Amino acid sequence: MPKALVIGGGVAGPAVATLLTRSGWDAPVFEARSEPDPFAGLFLNVAVNGQRVLATLGLDERLRSDAHHAPRMAMWSGRGKQLGVVPNGPAERPEDGGIVVRRSWLHEVIRDGAEEAGVKLTYGRRLEEIRQHKDGVTVRFSDGTEEDGDIVIGADGVGSVVRRYVAPDAAPSFSGLLGTGGFARVPGLEPTPGFQHFVFGARSFFGYLVRDDGTVYWFANLTADAPPTAATSEDWLARLRELHADDPAPVPDILAATPGPLTVYPIFRLPKVRPWWQDRAVLLGDAVHATSPSAGQGASMALEDAAVLADELQRSDVEQAFQRYEDARRERAEALVAYAAGIDKQKRVSRSRIAVALRDLMLPIFLRKAAADHSTDWIFDYDVSRRTREVR
Ligand SMILES: Cc1cc2nc3c(=O)[nH]c(=O)nc-3n(C[C@H](O)[C@H](O)[C@H](O)COP(=O)(O)OP(=O)(O)OC[C@H]3O[C@@H](n4cnc5c(N)ncnc54)[C@H](O)[C@@H]3O)c2cc1C
């Protein structure tokens, strides 16, 4: 039985391991964390293209059982004026909208699916080194243990160690945005069924939704010159309350009701990675195309990668499969990264009043045009199962 050593137990790793196990591979997953993280980074949007991959894994219904369905996104100015409502999915198919889930729930669903398929997940194994030899690879972990396999799959996120082996020149850099967020309950705040709301605050960008049970999920993106030195600190909550003090309701109320401390994430960008594979090592997910959270697509793209890579490995020898996978995925991934970087630019806070006024004037026109032109449908219409059928 061929053996794939899968590095990283986030989204892409357990997904690709499940699909490979189903097609006759031994695909153990090695995760650096010592145990599953129950907090695991707030919440995220799983778009319809990612949901389709979860459907092939038989996990979409379970994920939806604890999700906020949000086919629309309402954008607001810092003065409380609605700038537009845009689809979070194909423009005219709200039933194909994105769902927002806690990240820990997404991880749990994918991890359980992997374990049910027979995948062995081992925690506390941080990859340090890859050694290539004639017939395969040996990997060494920080605890000194080693594993042999036919290939190694780098699903180890934006700080990927596998990428250092595959494409040593591609190093992540700080995007100029920090992400943070939390959960709260705000007495009297009504649920927002079908919607997420986004506010171009005067000094920081803010997003929120209210689930049917009244729980508020919120995040903020702060503009910064450098990543913070300490990620967790009560000070971030105090600072955010101050930054959003003049923003429209319910933003200040949500922050007032949020318990601290907050965790702050620097958002990184990655240059184009070339190539995506080397010898017997291949990259997927954030390891090869870290996508800013702004597009709500990183997890979905990681799932798409997993489906295409597993499919190619089922049909060709390793080198051919890696190349066909890269050929199939590169253009779409690079286009998506560029699209998300464009949204980041809008989120960075301008100190110029004229720039803000111009944005508030132009954005409604731009948003209406984008919806009318269906200009983002290409993101959501990608259907991995259709692609794999066509290639066959
Ligand atoms: C604040 C924030 C908000 C986001 N919001 C969204 C959103 O709304 N929608 C969306 O689709 N995406 C969002 N994303 C992006 C999304 O989380 C990622 O694109 C997605 O998780 C990528 O999956 P992955 O499996 O490639 O990497 P990850 O989920 O990062 O998983 C990588 C795993 O590898 C492990 N690892 C790292 N190094 C090693 C090593 N040396 N050895 C072993 N294991 C290792 C890590 O511990 C981790 O568990 C957001 C990201 C951030 C930071």
Q: Whose CA is nearest to atom 9 of ligand 1?
A: 296
Q: Whose CA is nearest to atom 23 of ligand 1?
A: 11
Q: Kindly report, residue by residue over 152-167, the tens digit of the pLDDT.
A: 999 999 999 999 999 9
347 or 22, which is more confident: 22
Q: Kindly report, residue by residue over 181-193, the tens digit of the pLDDT.
A: 999 999 999 999 9
Same domain assignment for residues 77 and 137: yes
Nearest to 86 by CA among 100, 69, 72, 70: 72
Same domain assignment for residues 200 and 79: no
Reported as a pLDDT band with limits 50, 70 and 90, residue 234 is: low
On average, the pLDDT of the chain sits at 91
Fill in the amino acid letter for 179. Answer: G
Cβ neighbours for 391, distance < 8 A, ≥ 6 positions apart? 311, 328
Same domain assignment for residues 39 and 185: no
Residue 271 has pLDDT above 70, yes or no: yes
Reported as a pLDDT band with limits 50, 70 and 90, residue 272 is: very high
**What is the distance in A from the centroid of ligand 1 to the CA of 190?**
31
Token pair listed for 14: 């357990």
Rg of the chain in Å (alpha carbons): 21
Reported as a pLDDT band with limits 50, 70 and 90, residue 233 is: low
Q: Which of 178-187, 242-251, 285-294, 339-348 has the lowest mean pLDDT?
A: 339-348
**What is the distance in A from the centroid of ligand 1 to the CA of 286?**
6
Same domain assignment for residues 21 and 152: yes
Identify the pLDDT of residue 351.
Answer: 67
Q: Which of 126-135, 176-185, 194-203, 356-365 has the lowest mean pLDDT?
A: 356-365
Q: Which of 254-268, 289-303, 345-359, 361-375 has the lowest mean pLDDT?
A: 345-359
The percent of residues in the chain predicted with pLDDT above 70, rounded, is: 95
Q: Which of 238, 268, 298 is the last residue of a domain?
A: 268
Same domain assignment for residues 219 and 290: no
Same domain assignment for residues 135 and 221: no
Residues β-bridged to residue 220:
180, 206
Domain that holds residue 120: 4-172+270-391
Residue 212 has pLDDT above 80, yes or no: yes
Nearest to 195 by CA among 181, 171, 221, 216: 216
Reported as a pLDDT band with limits 50, 70 and 90, residue 208 is: very high
CATH number at residue 294: 3.50.50.60
Is the separation of the CB atoms in 228 and 264 below 8 Å? yes
Q: Whose CA is nearest to atom 35 of ligand 1?
A: 8
66 or 223, which is more confident: 66
Same domain assignment for residues 235 and 346: no
Identify the pLDDT of residue 39.
Answer: 57
Question: Helices (H) and strands (E) in the chain — how many of each?
Answer: 13, 21
Residue 49 has pLDDT above 90, yes or no: yes
Same domain assignment for residues 144 and 264: no
**What is the distance in A from the centroid of ligand 1 to the CA of 23?**
25
**What is the distance in A from the centroid of ligand 1 to the CA of 10?**
6
Token pair listed for 230: 């300490």
Q: Kindly report, residue by residue over 26-40, the tens digit of the pLDDT.
A: 999 999 999 887 656
Residue 68 has pLDDT above 60, yes or no: yes
Is the separation of the CB atoms in 227 and 106 below 8 Å? no
Strand 121-122 versus strand 29-30 pairing type:
parallel
Residue 105 has pLDDT above 90, yes or no: yes
Same domain assignment for residues 155 and 212: no
Q: Strand runs (DSSP E) across 201-307, as ranges?
A: 205-210, 215-223, 232-233, 262-263, 265-269, 277-278, 281-283
Same domain assignment for residues 63 and 32: yes
What mean pLDDT comes out for the span 211-216? 97
**What is the distance in A from the centroid of ligand 1 to the CA of 18?**
18
The count of domains in the chain is: 2
- Angstrom distances, CA of residue 349 to CA of 169, 173, 263, 316: 31, 19, 21, 48
Token pair listed for 314: 């089922």
Q: Whose CA is nearest to atom 41 of ligand 1?
A: 127
Same domain assignment for residues 10 and 148: yes
Nearest to 25 by CA among 153, 161, 156: 153
Q: Which of 242, 268, 294 is the last residue of a domain?
A: 268
Is the separation of the CB atoms in 385 and 240 below 8 Å? no
Q: Strand runs (DSSP E) across 105-250, as ranges?
A: 121-122, 127-133, 136-141, 146-149, 151-154, 173-185, 195-200, 205-210, 215-223, 232-233
Residues near ligand 1 with C-beta < 6 Å?
A: 7-13, 30-33, 41, 44-45, 126-127, 155-157, 159, 161, 179, 265, 285-287, 291, 293, 296-300, 302
First-to-last alpha carbon distance for the chain, in angstroms, is 23
Q: Which of 219, 241, 268 is the last residue of a domain?
A: 268
Q: Which long-range contacts (C-beta less than 8 Å, at least 24 apart) are formed by 241-244?
A: 243/201, 243/202, 243/203, 243/204, 244/201, 244/203, 244/204, 244/206, 244/220
**What is the distance in A from the centroid of ligand 1 to the CA of 293?**
10
Residue 5 has pLDDT above 90, yes or no: yes
Same domain assignment for residues 156 and 196: no
Fill in the amino acid letter for 266. Answer: P
